């Protein structure tokens, strides 16, 4: 039957051979042969492959009346090309950071990993360039000083993470944690925002990592977030510099050599996010870490992956430094 199907699909076969071959078969196979031949005829009457692909493209790719398919389907430019980047958020952040005239309010919310609607922590860190604690002459502070606070929601403090997200609820590094009821915690958070918004009208900026999700959650909880406060997302600032690869907070801190620990504590994350923003918007830092240079992608191929024992054996013999330097020489090289 397979040989007959292949014979039917050949272009040089004639109807006489088809009928003679069909008569030599038993009645059940005659029907199968008839269906096979009819399917071949239907496929031969179809349009050309080019017409079919153009029809599919016309459905999947919308175009205007005066635009052809060839104009719409064109090779895409690589994402690491500097001409494709948009630096609107980055430029705005550099202007705000270098002017030292904006009040940055960085905040972060932590939730229970198995029930995202349960709020477990609130972290808030404020950079106030005119903070009287640091300068009594009403002059902007050159070295950034932060006020950081951490709130643990009393009703949900027993809902501990650890399966998918690290459990660092009680590992706040920049002060003492405050255990409060959820209603009181949200009220205190709102009062802090309103205090700075009224004291510095038009000078307050929200800072955060993927902050739109936290603001949406606060609105669902009944918190009135001021609409006149602009938002500066550190993830978006990083993506404008490094469009490829990871963009989570730990990755950004590691790439910028910023010391950090106990990530996924809301207070720590709000502090680290503000640190990352000041580094990303500092021009010498960007030049040092080559954040504005075109990306280079290296592709390496390996014929056969190493076994687990060979990887351990190879890792044990990797030297810590390129040369067998003494600790004194290695320390001097680090600071040179």
pLDDT at 63 (0 to 100): 45
| Core vs surface per residue 163-196: b (16+ CB within 10 A) or e | eeeeebbebbebeebbebebeebbebbbebbeeb
Residues 187 and 242 reside in one and the same domain: yes
- Single out the residue of 168, 160, 173, 77 nearest to residue 125, CA to CA: 173
In a domain, 254, yes or no: yes
Find the domain containing 63 and state its range. Answer: 1-74
Q: What is the DSSP letter of 257?
A: T
pLDDT one digit per residue (tens) for the chain, 336 residues: 544 445 545 544 455 555 555 555 555 555 555 555 555 454 444 444 455 444 434 434 444 444 444 444 433 333 333 444 568 899 999 999 998 889 999 999 999 999 999 999 999 999 998 887 766 666 666 678 899 999 999 999 999 999 999 999 999 999 999 999 999 999 999 999 999 999 999 999 999 999 999 999 999 999 999 999 999 999 999 999 888 889 999 999 999 999 999 999 999 999 999 999 999 999 999 999 999 887 655 555 555 666 666 555 555 444 444 445 556 566 556 554
pLDDT at 70 (0 to 100): 43
pLDDT at 53 (0 to 100): 45
Q: What angle do CA 12, 16, 22 make, to 5 degrees?
A: 105
Residues 55 and 109 reside in one and the same domain: no
Residue where one domain finishes, among candidates 46, 74, 102: 74
In a domain, 295, yes or no: no
Residues 46 and 134 reside in one and the same domain: no
Strands (E), the chain: 103-112, 115-127, 146-153, 177-180, 204-208, 231-233
Residues 95 and 49 reside in one and the same domain: no
For 276, left (φ over 0), alpha (ψ -120 to 50), or beta? alpha
**Token duo for residue 323:** 């040369």
pLDDT at 79 (0 to 100): 34
Is beta strand 146-153 parallel, antiparallel or unpaired with respect to 231-233?
Answer: unpaired
CA torsion through residues 241, 243, 244, 247, sign = positive
Is beta strand 177-180 parallel, antiparallel or unpaired with respect to 204-208?
Answer: unpaired
Residues 48 and 128 reside in one and the same domain: no
As a residue count, the chain comes to 336
In a domain, 131, yes or no: yes
In a domain, 299, yes or no: no
In a domain, 225, yes or no: yes
In a domain, 294, yes or no: no
Counting other chains too, the contacts that 43-48 makes at CB distance below 8 Å and 24 or more residues apart are: none
Give bridge partners of residue 108 from the DSSP assignment.
Answer: 123
Q: CA neighbours within 13 Å on the CB side: how many for 319?
A: 7
Contacts of 317 (CB under 8 A, 6+ apart): none
State how far the Cα of 247 lies from the Cα of 253, in Å rounded to an integer.
Answer: 10
Tally of domains in the chain: 2
In a domain, 301, yes or no: no
pLDDT at 57 (0 to 100): 44
């Amino acid at each position: 039957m397979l040989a007959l199907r292949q014979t039917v699909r050949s272009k040089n076969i004639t109807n006489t051979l088809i009928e003679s071959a069909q008569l030599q078969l038993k009645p059940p196979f005659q029907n199968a042969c008839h269906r096979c031949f009819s399917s071949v005829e239907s496929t031969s009457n179809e349009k050309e492959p080019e017409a079919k692909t153009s029809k599919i493209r016309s459905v999947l790719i919308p175009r205007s009346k005066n635009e052809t398919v060839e104009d719409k389907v064109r090779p895409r430019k690589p994402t690491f090309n500097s001409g494709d980047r948009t630096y609107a958020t980055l430029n705005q952040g550099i202007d705000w950071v270098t002017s030292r005239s904006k009040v940055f309010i960085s905040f972060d919310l932590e939730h229970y990993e198995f029930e995202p609607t349960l709020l477990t922590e609130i972290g808030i860190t404020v950079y106030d360039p005119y903070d009287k604690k640091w300068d009594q002459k009403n002059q902007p502070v050159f070295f950034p000083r932060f006020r950081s606070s951490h709130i643990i929601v009393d009703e949900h403090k027993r809902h501990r993470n650890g399966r998918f997200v690290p459990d660092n609820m009680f590992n706040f590094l920049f002060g003492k944690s405050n255990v409060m009821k959820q209603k009181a915690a949200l009220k205190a958070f709102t009062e802090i925002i309103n205090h700075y918004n009224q004291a510095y009208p038009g000078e307050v900026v929200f800072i955060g990592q993927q902050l739109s999700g936290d603001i949406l959650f606060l609105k669902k909880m009944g918190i009135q977030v001021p609409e006149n406060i602009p938002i500066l997302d550190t993830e978006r600032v990083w993506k404008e510099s490094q469009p490829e690869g990871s963009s989570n907070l730990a990755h950004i801190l590691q790439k910028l050599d910023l010391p950090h620990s106990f990530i996924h504590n809301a207070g720590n994350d709000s502090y680290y996010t503000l640190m990352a923003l000041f580094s990303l918007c500092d021009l010498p830092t960007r030049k040092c870490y080559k954040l504005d240079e075109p990306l280079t992608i290296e592709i390496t191929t390996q014929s056969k992956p190493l076994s687990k024992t060979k990887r351990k054996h190879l890792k044990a013999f990797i030297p810590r430094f390129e040369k067998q330097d003494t600790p004194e020489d290695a320390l001097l090289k680090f600071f040179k």
